[in-house]
Amino acid sequence: MKHNPLLTFFILPPFSKIKNEHIIPAITKMLDDCYCVVNNILKQDIIYNWENMIQPLIEVNDHLNKIISPINHLNSVNNTVELRNIYQNVSSLIYKYSIWISQNKKLYKAYCNLKNNNHYSFLNYSQKKFIKNTLIDFKLSGINLCLNKQKRYKEVIIRLADLELFYGNNVLDATMNWNKLIINKEDLIDIPKNILSYMQLQAKNNGESGWLCTLDLPIYLSIITHCTNQTIRREIYIAYITRASDQGPNANKWDNTHIIKEILLLRTELAQLLGFNSFIEYSLIKKTANNAQEIMNFLIDLFRNIHAQGNKELIELKSFIKETYNIDTLNPWDFSFYSEKHKQHLYKIDNKKIRVYFPESKVLSGLFEILYRVFGIIIKEVMNNDLYNSEVRFFHLFNENSNELIGSFYLDLYARKNKKSGAWMNVCSNKMRKINGDIQKPIAYIVCNFSAPMNNQPTLLTHYEIVTLFHEFGHALHHLLTDIDIPEISGINGVPWDVVELPSQLMENWCWEPDALALISGHYKTNKAMPKKMIKNILMAKKHQSCLFLLRQIEFSLFDLELHTISHSKQDINFMQILTQIRNNIAILPVLEEDRFPCAFNHIFEGGYAGGYYSYLWSSVLAADCFSRFKKEGIFNRDTGKSFVVNILAQGGSKNFMTIFKKFLGREPNIKAMLEQYNIK
C-alpha cells in the first residue's frame, strides 16, 4: 500500500506511475479515511465552528477528489475494457460514500447546529453560502425521508450512476467499432490533406492499405462536409446517427434504447421520492429558471424570432442546389455537403485555403495574447511534467502584475483511439485554503479532438475547431480565475447549471473579430498574414444558416425539457415518438426515419445537462449581452476584462448569479444582443 502512487502526496497526478491495480486499493483506503474523519468529528462533544468541523471535512473531501480526478480523466481519454470495469467499481464505492454522507442525520444536525449558533455570524459570505448550499443538498438527498424511502433513494442513485456509465460506454464502443476502408483515393476527392493522412495512418494501424473512414469527429465531419462521393457520405451519416441504437450497421449491438427508458423512469421516481412532480422540478432547484414554463416561454419566444428566417435559409439552399446541381431533393446526408458549397459560393470561402492560416501553434499563441490583453494573465508552458500521453502539454497561468501563479492546465488536443469524442474542460484540482493558510492552486484539463500533426506538417485547424478551443478555454478561465477558496463553490462549482456556459460562449466571440483573427492566424509556412478579404468573408459567413443551427438547438432543448417534464411511470416510454412530435412542430430540415439521435445524446443521458440543455441557448443570450459591453468599450479593453473577472469569473458559485451579472452589465439580460449577432430582425 505504501508504494501506491495515488496514496502519496502529489500536486499533479503521477500519471506515469498509476497502474490499474493501484486504483481500487487507493479509493478504498481514502474512503476509509473519509469515514473516519466524519465519525471523529461527530463523536466529539463540542460546539461546532468552521475550523473544527467544516475545514476538516473540506480537506478530506478535496483529498478524495484529487485521487478520483485522474482516474475519471483517464477513463475519458484512455478508455480500455479493464479500466472501465475498474471505474464502474470506483463509481459504486464513491456513490455509496456520497449517499452515506448526504443521508447522515448526525452530520445534518451538526450543520444545522452550526448555522444556528453564534459562530455562524462571524463567517464570511462565501462560508455562509457553502453551508446554505450544503443544507439544500441534504434535503435533495432525502435526509428527511423515512428509512424505506431513504433505502430506495440510495438504490435509485446508484442504479442511475451505473446506467449513465453504461450509456456513455455504449456510445464510445459504437463510435469506435464502425469503420470503412476506402481503396480508391478518387472516392475521397476534396477531403483535406491532413485528414487523408490521418485516415491512411488509421488504415495502417489496422493492418490495411488505403484510407480508413471512422466516426472520429475530424474524419466524420470532413467526409460529411467535403466528400464528393454521395454513397460514402450516406453510409457514414447513417452509421453516425444510429450509433448505440436498434438501427444502422451495428443495430442492437450497443443499443441504449432500454437504458434511456430506465434512466427516465428512475429520474421520475427520484424526483417523486423527494416530493417533486417531475425531474425538471427537481433539476431547477440548482438553476436560475423558476419553472419549466419559464424555459418553454424562452424557447418559444426564440423560435418565433428565428423561424421565418430559418425557412428562408433553407429555401435559399434548395434554390442554390437546384440551380447549380439540378437536384430537387435534399437528403439528410447531403445537407452539410451542399451547405458548405453554398457558403463557398456566397462568401468565396474554401476551408482548405483557410485552414493553412490557422496552424495550431499560431492559434494558441494568439489565444494566449488575447487572454493577456483582455484579462491580464500570462501563460507559460512547463516542460518535463508527468503526462498521461506524449501529445499532451502542460501550462501555468500567472498574474501579470505580481507574477503570482494563478493555476495550471493540461492541454489535450488530438483525437486518438480509446478517447471519448467531443471537447470538454474538467477539474483536476480546485482552489482551496488549507487549515495552515496555504492556498492550493486550481488545475484544469482542456480536451479537444482535432487531427494530430502528420508528415512533418502541423495541425491546421478549421475555424469551427478554433471556436471549440476558445469555448473550452472559457470554461477553464471560469475554473482558474476564481477568488473563492472553498472548493464546493469555487470556479465552476456551485454555479447554476443554466449559466455555466456563459464564460465559454463569451470567449467564442473573439473568434469573430478581425483584430483577434489577425492575432491567431498566419500561414503555416510563411507566417504571412491572412488576407483581409478572407477575414471579411469568414466574418460574413458567421450568419450563414445561423437560424437553422438555432432551430436545431431549440429542437434538442424542447426534447430534453419534454422528456423531463413528463412523469414517466411505465416501461413503454416512447422517447422517439416525443422527438418526432417536436420535429413535426418545429423542424424544417429532412430527417431519416432510422435516426436515433437520443441514443447518443450524451449531454442529457451521461453528462450533467438533463433538464438543462436549454442552458446553451440561454447562456448564448447572456454571453452576447456581456460581449456587447466589450464591443462598446473595446474587445481588448483591460478594464472591461478585469470587470468580467472580478464580477463574474472570480465569484464562482458564491453569490446569486443575477446579482453578479447586473454588477457587470448594469441591468438584467435581454435577447436583443444575441439576435443582432445573428442578424435576426
DSSP code at position 381? E
In this predicted structure, what is the pLDDT of residue 454?
84
Mean pLDDT (the chain, rounded): 95
Asked if 192 contacts 219 with a C-beta cutoff of 8 angstroms, the reply is no
Distance CA 426, CA 446 (A): 7
In this predicted structure, what is the pLDDT of residue 350?
82
User: Is the pLDDT confidence value at 1 over 60?
Assistant: no
Distance CA 566, CA 587 (A): 21
For residue range 182-218, what is the model confidence (pLDDT) as tens digits?
Answer: 999 999 988 988 899 999 999 999 999 999 999 998 8
Please report, as a single letter, which amino acid is at residue 548: L
- Catalytic entry in 269, 472, 508, 513: 472
* 211: β partners: 182
Q: Within a 10 A sphere around the Cβ of 583, how many other Cβ atoms?
A: 17
Q: Determine the 3-state secondary structure of 198 from DSSP.
A: helix
Asked if 197 contacts 135 with a C-beta cutoff of 8 angstroms, the reply is no
How confident is residue 353, by pLDDT bands cut at 50, 70 and 90?
A: confident
Span between the terminal Cα atoms of the chain, in Å: 65
Report the largest interatomic distance among the alpha carbons of the chain, rounded to a whole angstrom. 84
Q: Which residue has the cell 471505474?
A: 87
* CA distances to 11, 41, 95 from 436, in Å: 16, 19, 30
User: Is the pLDDT confidence value at 619 over 60?
Assistant: yes
Distance CA 178, CA 243 (A): 9
In this predicted structure, what is the pLDDT of residue 2?
62
Mean pLDDT of 378-402: 94
* Complete edge-to-edge strand list for the sheet that includes strand 443-450: 377-381, 393-399, 405-414, 443-450, 424-429
Query: For every residue of 524-570, which 3-state class applies, written as one string?
Result: CCCCCCCCHHHHHHHHHHHHCCHHHHHHHHHHHHHHHHHHHHCCCCC
Here the cell at position 30 is 481514502
Phi and psi, residue 185, nearest 5°: -65, -25
Backbone φ/ψ region at 151: left (φ over 0), alpha (ψ -120 to 50), beta: alpha
How confident is residue 66, by pLDDT bands cut at 50, 70 and 90?
A: very high
Our CA dihedral for 60, 61, 65, 68, rounded to 10 degrees, sits at 80
Here the cell at position 623 is 454571453
Sign for the CA dihedral angle at 191, 192, 198, 200 comes to: positive
Mean pLDDT of 272-285: 95
Mean pLDDT of 149-161: 94
Distance CA 634, CA 639 (A): 10
Picking from 25-39, 339-353, 357-371, 622-636, which range would have the lowest pLDDT averaged per residue?
A: 339-353
User: Is the pLDDT confidence value at 137 over 70?
Assistant: yes
Residues 49, 51, 53: CA angle, nearest 5 degrees: 65
Please report, as a single letter, which amino acid is at residue 6: L
Mean pLDDT of 587-603: 94
What stretch of H or E contains 377? strand 377-381
Mean pLDDT of 247-268: 96
Distance CA 303, CA 583 (A): 13
Residues 6+ apart with CB under 8 A from 546: 313, 678, 679, 680
Here the cell at position 658 is 443575477
Mean pLDDT of 158-173: 95
User: Is the pLDDT confidence value at 550 over 70?
Assistant: yes
User: Is the pLDDT confidence value at 110 over 90?
Assistant: yes
In this predicted structure, what is the pLDDT of residue 519?
97
Residues 6+ apart with CB under 8 A from 168: 420, 602, 606
649 Cα distance to chain centroid: 17
* 407: β partners: 397
Distance CA 198, CA 219 (A): 8
In this predicted structure, what is the pLDDT of residue 475?
98
User: Is the pLDDT confidence value at 224 over 90?
Assistant: yes
Backbone φ/ψ region at 384: left (φ over 0), alpha (ψ -120 to 50), beta: left
Distance CA 116, CA 110 (A): 10
For residue range 226-242, what is the model confidence (pLDDT) as tens digits?
Answer: 999 999 999 999 999 99
Backbone φ/ψ region at 405: left (φ over 0), alpha (ψ -120 to 50), beta: beta
Asked if 428 contacts 394 with a C-beta cutoff of 8 angstroms, the reply is no
Mean pLDDT of 542-569: 94
Please report, as a single letter, which amino acid is at residue 467: V
Distance CA 623, CA 503 (A): 7
Mean pLDDT of 388-409: 94
Choose among 291, 282, 288, 284: nearest CA to 139. Answer: 282
How confident is residue 491, by pLDDT bands cut at 50, 70 and 90?
A: very high
Percentage, residues of the chain above pLDDT 90:
91
Mean pLDDT of 254-279: 96
In this predicted structure, what is the pLDDT of residue 256?
98
**Helix segments in 462-512, DSSP class H:** 463-480, 502-508
Asked if 534 contacts 354 with a C-beta cutoff of 8 angstroms, the reply is yes
Q: Determine the 3-state secondary structure of 439 from DSSP.
A: strand
User: Known catalytic residue: 472?
Assistant: yes
Choose among 176, 180, 197: nearest CA to 81. Answer: 176
Choose among 29, 99, 115, 108: nearest CA to 64. Answer: 29
